[in-house]
A and B are shown apart, each in its own frame.
Chain A
Amino acid sequence: MPDIAMHLLDIVYNSIRALAKMITIRIHDSEKENMIEIIVEDDGCGMDEETIQHVMDPFFTTRTTRKVGLGVPLFKEGVLATGGTFDISSTVGKGTMIKACYIKNHWDTPPLGDLAETLATLVQANDQIDYLFTYTSDTHQFCLDTKEIKAILDGVKINEPEIILWLKDYIKEGLSQ
C-alpha cells in the first residue's frame, strides 16, 4: 500500500464486513506532536480475545475464498516500522476500535494519500452505513457527518454517482483549507 489512505480504506472494509452501521474515523495529523494518529471505531459484531490475537497474523482471515488475510498485518507492520504504536480493542456484540499512530517525521512513514477519495469510496460502498469523519491538524479541522448529509438529501441516496462526486470535492476542499 503506497499511502495511509489506502490502508484506511482496507481496514474500514473489515468494519463493513462486521456489519457495522456507524463507523467513526478520526485522523490527527500533527507536526507539533510529531504523529499521525488514525482511529477507526465501529459498532459491528466485534471479536473475542482469541480472534484479536489472530487478526495480526497474516495467515488468519474470516474469508473462506483463501487462507491469507493481509489487511491488518500490513497496516500494523507499516506503523510499527516507524516506531509507532498499533492497538486493537474489541467487544463481542459491541464493536471494534483500531488505533494506529505513526511517528510523523520517520523515514518510513507513508504520505497521507487521498483521504477524500477513500471516504467517497467508503460512502459509495453502502448507503446504509453512517460515517463520522474528523480530521485535525495543528492549524485546522474538518468534520463530515453522513447523517447530516442524508437529512438534507431527504431520501435521495447518498451513493448516487453525482452525490459521490460532489462529496469527494467537498472533502478535498475541507481538507486543503
Chain B
Amino acid sequence: MKSLKDLEKMREQAKKKMAMRSDDENQYRVVVGMATCGIAAGARPVLNKLVEEVAQHHLPVTVTQTGCIGMCTLEPIVEVFDKEGNKTTYVLMDAEKAAEVVTRHLIEGQVVTEYTVGKYKQ
C-alpha cells in the first residue's frame, strides 16, 4: 500500500540524483503528439511506456508532450531529438515499439529505421 510518506524518500533520492547530474546534460529529448488524433490512436500508453523505461533505466532523457504533429493518420507519433538537434520521427507507434526505440535508439544510439516516417512517406 502506497502512502504519501513514500514521497519523502523519493524526494531525497531525486535530490541526490540532481546534484550528481548537474553538468551532465540530457542526451535526447523525446516528444509525443498528444492531440485528439494522437490520443485516439493510442498515444497515452506510448507516452507512459517511454516515461516508465526512462525511469527504470535512469536515462538522461526528457520526455515531453506536444499537440498535433500534422500527420494524423500516422499517429501515435514520437519525435526524438539528439543533442545536435537532429530529429528522428517514429510513426504508428505502440507501447511495444516504444520500448524498442528506448533500447535501440536512446540506449544504444541506433535509429530504428523500420519505424521511421521515411518507411511510410517518401
Interface residues of A (CB under 8 A from B): 1, 6, 9-10, 13, 17, 63, 65-66, 69-71, 74, 114, 117-118, 120-121, 124-125, 148-149, 152-154, 156-157, 160-166, 168-170, 173
Contact = CB atoms under 8 A, between A and B. Distances in A.
A71 B65 contact: no
B52 to A, nearest CB: 6
Contact of A161 (B15, B35, B45, B55): B55
15 contacts: A6-B44, A9-B34, A9-B39, A10-B36, A10-B39, A117-B44, A117-B48, A153-B11, A156-B11, A156-B14, A161-B52, A161-B54, A163-B10, A163-B14, A166-B7
B109 interface: no
A65 B45 CA distance: 25
A165 B70 CA distance: 29
Contacts of B15: 156
A124 B36 contact: no
B63 interface: yes
Given A10-B39, A63-B68, A166-B2, A161 B7 contact: no
A72 to B, nearest CB: 9
Nearest to B37: A70
Nearest to A6: B39
B7 A162 contact: no
Interface residues of B, number: 30
A22 B75 CA distance: 29
B2 A13 contact: no
Given A13-B34, A65-B68, A164-B51, A124 B11 contact: no
B10 A162 contact: yes
Contacts of B68: 63, 65-66
Interface in B1-56: 1-2, 4, 6-8, 10-11, 13-15, 18, 34-36, 39-40, 44-45, 47-48, 51-52, 54-55
B118 interface: no
B117 to A, nearest CB: 17
